[in-house]
Amino acid sequence: MQFEVERVPLLYRNCFMSFFKEALRSSSSGENRYRRLFHYDDRRNNKAPKPFCFAVRFLCRPEDFRKDDGWLTLRSPLALYFSTSDPGLLIDFYNGVVNKDLYPFVKGEFTLPYPKSVMPLREKPITGDEVHFRTLSPILIEDASGKPLLPDSPGFLRELNYQTDALLWGVRGRGLHRELAFKPLAIRKEVVKHAVRERNETSRVYTFTCFSGHFLLQGDPEDLRDIQVLGLGRRRSQGFGMVEVVEG
């Protein structure tokens, strides 16, 4: 979907996390789904892996937008991509997005108008055991201590497999069929500022070291198809880790 906006805050991922939740809650079925996704009960948050990911993409060259006092000024629309393995979640989110009562959506000083367009995109077929992916949002891989791992870091592949196995167990009830192999093609480091709220405390801004670009991933075709839908790495439901197939 595309939106016509003149500027977005540097911490725009948090704004679109709020937008997703409000769009989901705009119907009774979506409200029930929201509660199941994010809460066990009134006192405990649901920390299970989420069956969706999203990416915010700017439809202009980097030199065509300007950073100014915590904001990005744009010269073209922005695109929001959303992907999920849950058809019911997709329907509830879509119904919320096209609900005109949701707009203008306001988060602090950021305002989002009714979308310029909303268009479903088909997944590309994956039949083999090697896929050329590219990132739509930066991938965050960290070890148990929170240390960021890039593709050339020791332990990267082990942690990538561990996190993907845990994701698939949490979403589909079965982990990886076999280990993944990762081959970078054109990778760049990307440093991202993102606000995180832990245990219902006030949000804090953290700096995450991620990577973006093109890579080959080898594995079981079913696993690769689910990765296409669910993404890779940590904080996928916060605007990280979304990928698309270049060639499968």
pLDDT in tens, the chain (248 residues): 999 998 999 999 999 999 999 999 998 899 999 999 998 877 788 889 999 999 999 887 666 678 888 898 887 789 999 999 999 999 999 999 999 999 999 999 999 999 999 999 889 999 999 999 999 999 999 999 999 999 999 999 999 999 999 999 999 999 999 999 999 999 999 999 999 977 666 788 999 999 999 999 999 999 999 999 999 999 999 999 999 999 87
Residue 87 lies in a domain: yes
CA angle, 157 then 141 then 220, to 5°: 45
Residue 209 lies in a domain: yes
Contact 32, 25 (CB under 8 A): no
Contact 115, 93 (CB under 8 A): no
Dist. CA 69–CA 212, nearest whole Å = 25
Number of domains in the chain: 2
Dist. CA 90–CA 82, nearest whole Å = 9
Tell whether 225 and 172 lie within a shared domain: yes
Residues recorded for the chain: 248
Answer with the one of 51, 78, 112 that is the final residue of a domain.
112
β-pair type (2-3, 71-73)? unpaired
Q: Which ranges in the chain belong to alpha helices (H)?
A: 12-24, 28-38, 87-97, 156-172, 221-230
- Residue with tokens 């979640």, as numbered in its chain: 89
Q: Which of 108, 168, 114, 103 minimizes the C-alpha distance to 2?
A: 114
Residue 156 lies in a domain: yes
Q: Which CATH number characterizes residue 242's domain?
A: 3.30.70.1900
> 181 Cβ partners below 8 Å, 6+ apart?
157, 217, 218, 219
Range of the domain at 217: 130-247
- Peptide bond preceding 104: is omega within 30 degrees of 0, i.e. cis? yes
Tell whether 70 and 159 lie within a shared domain: no
Residue 147 in tokens:
């240390």
Tell whether 151 and 68 lie within a shared domain: no
Dist. CA 237–CA 222, nearest whole Å = 21
> 7 Cβ partners below 8 Å, 6+ apart?
71, 72, 73, 74
Amino acid at 166: A
Tell whether 136 and 241 lie within a shared domain: yes
Residue 117 lies in a domain: no
- Report CA torsion sign: 125, 127, 132, 135: positive
9-66 pLDDT per residue, tens: 999 999 999 999 999 999 889 999 999 999 887 778 888 999 999 999 988 766 667 8
Residue 99 in tokens:
């609900």
User: Cα torsion at 28, 31, 33, 36 (round to 10°)?
Assistant: -130
Tell whether 179 and 226 lie within a shared domain: yes
Tell whether 135 and 229 lie within a shared domain: yes
Tell whether 107 and 142 lie within a shared domain: no
Q: Which residues pair with 213 in a beta bridge?
A: 187
